[in-house]
Structure 1
Amino acid sequence: MTFKKQHYYLLSCLLVTGQVMASPSHCNNLSTVPVDSKYPSLHVASPDWREQIIYMVMPDRFYDGDPSNNDQGANEYGPTDKQKYSGGDLQGVIDKLAYIKGLGATAIWTTPVVANIWWDSKLNMSGYHGYWARHFKQVDEHLGTLDTYKALSNALHQNGMYIIQDVVANHTGNFCGYEGEYNPADPTKNFKCWLGTKPTLAPTQTPFDRNGPTEGIYHWHCSITTDAASKEELCEFAELDDLNTENPLVCQALRDSYGWWIKTVGIDGFRLDTAKYVPHDFWNNFFYSKDAKVPGINYVAAATGRCDFLSFGEVYESSKPFDDAGEQQVFSYLGTDDKPEIKSMLQFPLAYTIKRVFAEGKPTAYLGYRLNKHIELSGNPSITPVFIDNHDQARFASKGSRAALKQALTFIMTIPGIPVIWQGTEQALTETRASMFANGYGSGGVDHFDTQSEMYQFIKKLAEIRKSHRVFTRGSLKVLADKSITRGVGVFAYQRQYENTTAIVVFNTSEQATLLDTETGLPSGSKLKLLMGEGMNDDIVVNKDGRFSAELPARAIMVLIHDGDTAPFETSNNVKITVTTPIEGNTFTEDVVLNGTVTAGVSDLKLVVDGFLERAIDFNADADGNWQVVLPVSEFGMGEETHTVSVYAPKKGVVSNRLTFSTNVVPDNVIEISLTDPVGDDRGLQGTYQYPTDKSFTNQMDIRQVEVTAGNTTLDITFTMPVVTDGWSPPNQFDHVSFNVYFDLPNQKGLSVLPKIKATAPDGFKWDYSNVVYSGGNSFHSTEHVDAENLGKPVNGAADIRVDQENRTILFRYDAFYFGLENWEGVKVYATTWDIDSIENVYRPLKREAGQYHFGGGNGSVEPLIADDIEVITLR
């Protein structure tokens, strides 16, 4: 099909509107759809979406309520195999509604329930997840029947809950494609449909069953690459048959299909899969078409009494720190006032930053910036779904500690937005798509529906707080405190304001005690009631300057509230600390003597650098309140860094102004090591492995050179590779290679087992910390809780990543501060490569024969998952 013809279709899709219909704005919450006598509660008015909490369900991996539909006879069912159906279904969701409601959720979002490909013979994988449609108006046989789906909707509505359906407009399943080059002069050349696809060899719904290369129903001629945005809209994603959404026939069929679910089942909202792979014009047409015969979705919903039908789209993008390119792309799908598209968008850039800050220990100012952009760019932030992970990402709990998980959940429950909880988060599951029920894949043979578990009860409490205080669902937001300095882990605080209520939420993201001192905007003496705390038990009193100070234990959380009717009481602390040496904004290369004063009679002081109390320097003022102390600049990291300093009187709870300064230290001793690694030795330790067969794998795991530079607290490890690719715009700017970097610290016991990769460390090497880095993840681990299948306890210290595609280098920067070291002398380093599936968060399998997405040439149950490694480097 030529571009000219595609362009014609696009115009046609927009112009075919039929008779003008009444606007959804005239909706009166009354349904015109006849009441189903069996299921009388299918149609209800839209809720106030600001007040909702969504629980996301993948039915196949949730609960098996009807074992009779598990095996449809296509060898597609196998609960021990992650590629096959496990047996969960819609009846299982009905059976566990009390569990979901008890958590505090008010709505569920199900992955697609439509009839899917049962078995993809090319990928050797089933469509258990729901995203490979063969018929858009039928329930997949593994999940139940239309009647079961109605029963679920009815039960939810009778419980005061709502249902959101995941819909796909971009593609069907993978039925056909090209084996060989596409020839525009003869589109039929090399075009094949895949034998062995079950249960059918083509979609079974008109017009999607017309899947020949010249029919105009699909885009067949290319796969998505990153060289042009138009390719995303006109080419295949992951080899899935790409619908020609510029064709008016396709537009109409999709509106008809998805409108049918609203009318027939009583769906309250849509989550829109792969939204960025569909033209903007389509989304305007999908929701707002005035075609009287097949109207836009919002008109269909209004006719059922849903005056505020929720839609939220998936645009899988991240943003670099202090950059909003991801947000700009994501929220462009809101459309404009003149040409609206999707009502809200999943907050992917925010989700990635949540992981970076709470799990990886990156500067909290990353999150402050991202939160401000959330308010500025998301259209209506209060109905923007916010989340910490989902079915397509590594679980937060696999990258962050339990304490970090609690912080991340507290964050999404107390900012503007609709919190989304992915099934299993409340049970602290770590594998992305592990089943919740005992007989399903990855369950460990036990059910995971413990309503007394630590995380279930924690989320339940957060939900109760959110529902009880409208300040969290409707209030304005202001960031009060964050850290943009080099060691930016630590304090993060923001304020919510609604009518006469003020809430303040405080975190310490560090594994060390941190000093908080922040403004509140409240009168002196105001009492902040502690609604919930981790590591903190007491209410807070605002001091004489409208500020409050506190020593925050490691990983502390405070959710505080001030009611306007609370009577303030007096404070009497008049201590003042002043730093007289010019510090703010200056750059230092050597130690600095600081001078200052404190109110007479106060002697015990602490010099607090970067907010860390455990490393504060104790000193004393004289009887007149004069003091002097050395700021140890020479001990800071190599090169340019940014730091803060303040003086603290712990017995009085008073802090000086926090001063920001820069350093540029040239250490006396710099360690520089360069090693060349053999070319082409990325075939395993014995040289027998083969790469996966997909064409996207191009020797990305072959380390060519390693350069190490260490000075003071800074360590840079730079890997030079034959190629650095980023085919799907991954957050870490590289794909198809994962790095396991291990550190053996002097005088530490360490371990030799290399978890997850079925290997043992080289002789004489026992690691104390490890860093696992891949396209979508970056986690740092101690040896606590390590065994062959557990990476260890996640802690602060993950590398700062710097990628240079042109020079084919990937640099990891580490700070000895997080290792408990003063410098890097005597530390040993070892590293290996492989590849991690960023969706399932698992190392790609190793089998005897290579496949599209698994390695060949070995037995992955016993042989090391190592493509290449480096010799042990000792820093001397």
Structure 2
Amino acid sequence: MRKTLLTFILFIIAVTTNAAGMIDKIEPSFWYVGMKNPELQLMIYGENIASSDVSVRYPGVYLNSIVKLESPNYLLVYLTLDKDAKAGKVELTFTQGKKKNIQYYELKERSMKGCERIGFDASDVLYMLMPDRFSNGNPGNDNDKTLSPSSANRNDPNARHGGDLTGIQNHLDYFNDLGITALWFTPVLENSMTGGSYHGYATTNYYKVDPRLGTNDEYKDLIEKAHGKKLKIVMDMIFNHCGSEHPWLKDMPSRDWFNFPDYEKNFVQTNFKLTPHVDPYASDYDFKTMNDGWFVRSMPDLNQRNPHVLRYLIQNSFWWIEYAGIDGIRMDTYPYADFNAMSQWMKELNEEYPNYNVVGESWVTEPAYTAYWQKDSKLAAPRNSNLKTVMDFSFYDKMSQAKKEESNEDGKGLNRIYNNFVYDFLYPNPLSVMAFLENHDTDRFLEDGNDIAGLKQAVTLLLTTRRIPQLYYGTEIMMNGRKNVSDGNVRKDFPGGWKDDAQNAFTKEGRTDLQNEAFNFISKILHWRKDNAVISEGTMKHFLTQNGIYVYARCFEGKTALVILNGTSKEQNLPIKSYKEVIKEKTTGKDIISEQTVDLTNDLTLSPRQSMIIEL
């Protein structure tokens, strides 16, 4: 007995010793049973791991294939999971000659079925924020010598400032007070970049939250607490590119893992012209430069046409849905990635999570271009993007121009907005288009000013039209800035997010009178539109501007909200009889902004830039 035990111990020691250094990590580190797609890709990292043979032992789990890439330091193992496979630990044996390495790979139960996960829609308002610039709840994670840059510096507008997930969690009540229903963070995954990447768009680890923001567990905990306060969380992802400090670029798994892999000798940058996707006369050269060129040198372009790259990315998105419970995805630089690959991702995601939602960034200001990218668009037929929600850059562009103009001038001001909505016939589903006034890549709506009347009117329009609205953090306290100063100038720290801040705009007492006026105005409309089917589901009928006044009605099941916007800097008269078809027999209504009863039997007089939302 003693001899047998000694032999077993020596065997374990030998296996452990011989296998040392063979495997650095496996991605994903665990998976879930009960997924519709039975295939599971495991990406194994380790020195000379490709020389290993692999065997699998677990009921209902089978070895499908082993893929050895050009680099010897990666191995792809494809498993098939029966639909009846149970949660537990799968025994994976990696053999190199006489050396063995046994890994126990965990399969977990899902917390809910895919059909039970509900995404964001037109009943929601997304509040977009940059975690590094919002609030520093844990100064202890500001500096990390294992990452680059290793320290925060608030004196540099383009450096890390120290905001984190704890800071966001500390202000969940603020979001409830404001009245938004969903939070969209810029990417939270590790961005360990020599040149710095406080914004998060240069991923260096797809399965790890950046330690300077928090941990995976802290991210998951934040989401659970947000759900407890009826707030959804939308995760920002990037399939088009990763960061140049990602291990994949330092040791390419294969030559076709990236587009234009000879970047050191022949760097090809995208031309940033997205029109070749739809241009019937586009050259192959222009299309390839746009689609395969790198965004910048620090963001190498991933090749989604490589099926192994695509499978890795698809699994990663599913993993974060299952692990962290995210309620939606915002996909960065959507048209820069391969159309067919992204369509395949969305098809699989829609099948696994039929009630989920993804919004794709497609920065072209023509409605026809944006409509091309929406699911079931006839403009793209016979292809189908399968992407439910697209971003309305046309609305953003028209609002940027209209705010400086008088709407009683032909084609100017709110006439631009009217014309923007005229093209809604191009969209398969206008209610699933996301509209916004500003974001982290644009000038602030207020630019360098403080035009509260213009801001109120723009927000009224944003929150009542037939769209999914998105606000940018600080809009409610009139944060301003221009990009021509620096990107950091439109990504300023939220005042009060750091202990030594002179102002705390998270509280009524800490805000100025003007900031409170803006906050209260926006909050009133946000709370009014919550669970308001007239806005989230209603039809829309709009009228040509009269005297520079834009009027439209949202109607649902006998209820009507009449929106009236004076798009001029002068007092204007509104001939009420022109709107009889939506007012019908009603003689009064209540303006939810002023909380006053409105007489609808006589013409209305509107003050400069006045906005009204009249419930009929």
TM-score normalised to the size of structure 2? 0.70
Aligned to 1:429: 479
SS in 2 for 1:345: strand
1:329 shift after superposition: 5.1
Matching of residues 317-716 of structure 1 within 5 Å:
317-319=364-366, 324-328=367-371, 331=374, 339-361=384-406, 362-373=412-423, 375-398=424-447, 401-431=451-481, 432-438=490-496, 445-451=502-508, 453-467=516-530, 469-482=532-545, 490-517=548-575, 518-522=578-582, 526-533=586-593, 537-542=596-601, 549-562=603-616
CA contact (8 A) 1:41 1:158 kept: no
**Distance in 1 of aligned mates of 2:569 and 2:415:** 17
CA distance 1:235–1:417, shift in 2 (3 Å): same
- For 2:574 and 2:141, how far apart are their aligned partners in 1? 56
Q: Residue 416 and residue 427 in structure 1: after superposition, are their counterparts in 2 closer, same or farther (change >3 A)?
A: same
Flag the 1:18–1:503 CA change in 2: closer, same or farther, 3 A: farther
Q: Using the alignment, how far apart are the partners of 1:98 and 1:314 within structure 2?
A: 29
Alignment partner, residue 282 of structure 1: 341
Match for 2:268 among 222, 226, 231?
Answer: 222
Quick one: distance in 2 between partners of 1:309 and 1:132? Answer: 26
Report deviation, 1:520.
3.3
What is the Cα deviation at residue 404 of structure 1? 0.6
Name the CA distance, whole Å, in 2 between partners of 1:33 and 1:412: 42
Q: Which has the higher contact order (CA 8 A, sep 6+)?
A: 2
| Alpha-carbon contact 2:234-2:328 (below 8 Å) kept | yes
SS state at 2:592 partner? strand
Instruction: Confirm or deny that 1:315 pairs with 2:362.
Output: yes
Is 1:100 matched with 2:175? Answer: yes
3-state SS of 1:515 partner:
strand
Counterpart CA distance in 2 for 1:530 and 1:243 is 54
**Matched residue of 2:359: which SS?**
strand
Alignment deviations for residues 138-197 of structure 1 (CA, whole Å, 9 cap, x no partner): 111110000100101111112222111000011112x2xxxxxxxxxxxxxxxxxxxxxx
Task: Specify whether residues 438 and 98 from structure 1 end up closer, same or farther in structure 2 by C-alpha distance, changes over 3 A only.
Answer: closer
How far is 1:284 from its partner?
1.2
Q: What aligned pairs does 1:220-299 form with structure 2 within 5 A after superposition?
A: 220=261, 221-225=267-271, 226=273, 228-239=286-297, 240-288=299-347, 296-299=348-351
TM-score, normalising length: structure 1: 0.50
Instruction: Tell me the residue number matched to 1:570.
Output: none
Q: 2: distance between equivalents of 1:397 and 1:528?
A: 34
Distance 1:330 1:509 in 2: 31
CA distance, structure 2, for counterparts of residue 154 and residue 532 of structure 1: 33
CA distance in 1, matches of 2:222, 2:302: 30
Deviation of 1:444 (Å): 7.0
Which residue in 1 is equivalent to 2:185? 110
Q: 1:412 is matched by which residue type in structure 2?
A: L
Q: Within 1, Cα distance between the matches of 2:611 and 2:333?
A: 35
2:204 pairs with one of 125, 134, 137:
134
1:523/1:251 CA distance change after superposition, 3 Å: closer
Q: Give the Cα separation in 1 of the matches to 2:517 and 2:395.
A: 26
Classify 1:215/1:84 alpha carbon distance in 2 versus 1 (closer, same or farther; 3 Å): same
Alpha-carbon offset, residue 410 of structure 1 = 0.6
Distance verdict in 2 for CA 1:274–1:98, change over 3 Å: same
Match of 1:170 among 218, 240, 244: 240
AA of the residue aligned to 2:192:
I
- Seen in structure 2, the aligned counterparts of structure 1 residues 351 and 135 have a Cα distance that, compared at 3 Å, is same
Alignment partner of 2:480: what SS? Answer: coil
Q: CA deviation at 1:94?
A: 0.7
Letter matched to residue 302 of structure 2: L
Aligned residue among 228, 231, 234 for 1:161: 231
For 1:363-417, what per-residue CA distance to the aligned partner results, in whole angstroms no more than 9, with x for missing partners? 32211010222x3233322232211111111111226611111111111111112
Query: Is the alpha carbon distance of 1:524 and 1:341 closer, same or farther for their aligned partners in structure 2, counting shifts above 3 Å?
Result: closer
Q: How far did residue 422 of structure 1 move?
A: 0.9
Listed one character per residue, the Cα deviations across residues 722-765 of structure 1 (whole Å, up to 9, x for unaligned) are xxxxxxxxxxxxxxxxxxxxxxxxxxxxxxxxxxxxxxxxxxxx
CA distance in 2, matches of 1:364, 1:69: 47
Kept in 1: contact 2:496–2:506 (CA 8 A): no
Tell me the secondary structure at the aligned position of residue 87 of structure 1: coil
Alignment partners' CA distance in 1, 2:566 and 2:501: 34
Q: Does structure 1 conserve the Cα–Cα contact (< 8 Å) formed by 2:374 and 2:388?
A: no
Identity of aligned residues (%): 25
- Matched residues in 2 for 1:332 and 1:224: separation? 25
Pair 384,439 (structure 1): closer, same or farther in 2 beyond 3 Å:
closer
Structure with higher Rg: it is 1
Does the 8 A contact of 1:496 with 1:504 survive in 2?
A: yes
**What is the deviation of 1:238?**
2.8
**1:513 and 1:551 in contact (8 A); partners too:** yes
Change (3 A) 1:338 1:43: closer
Give the unaligned 5+ runs of structure 2: 1-77, 84-106, 262-266, 274-284, 407-411, 482-489, 510-515
Unaligned runs of 5+ in 1: 1-16, 23-31, 121-125, 176-201, 289-295, 484-488, 544-548, 563-876
Structure 1 residue corresponding to 2:131, chosen from 24, 49, 59: 59
Given the superposition, is the C-alpha separation of residues 448 and 460 from structure 1 closer, same or farther in structure 2, using an over 3 Å criterion?
A: same
Kept in 1, the 8 Å contact 2:414–2:548? The answer is yes
Three-state SS of the structure 2 residue aligned to 1:308 is: coil
- SS of 2:345 mapped into structure 1: helix
Partner SS state of residue 122, structure 2: helix
Cα 1:50–1:265 shift into 2, 3 Å: same
SS in 2 for 1:530: strand
CA distance in 1, matches of 2:114, 2:228: 9
- 1:75 shift after superposition: 4.7
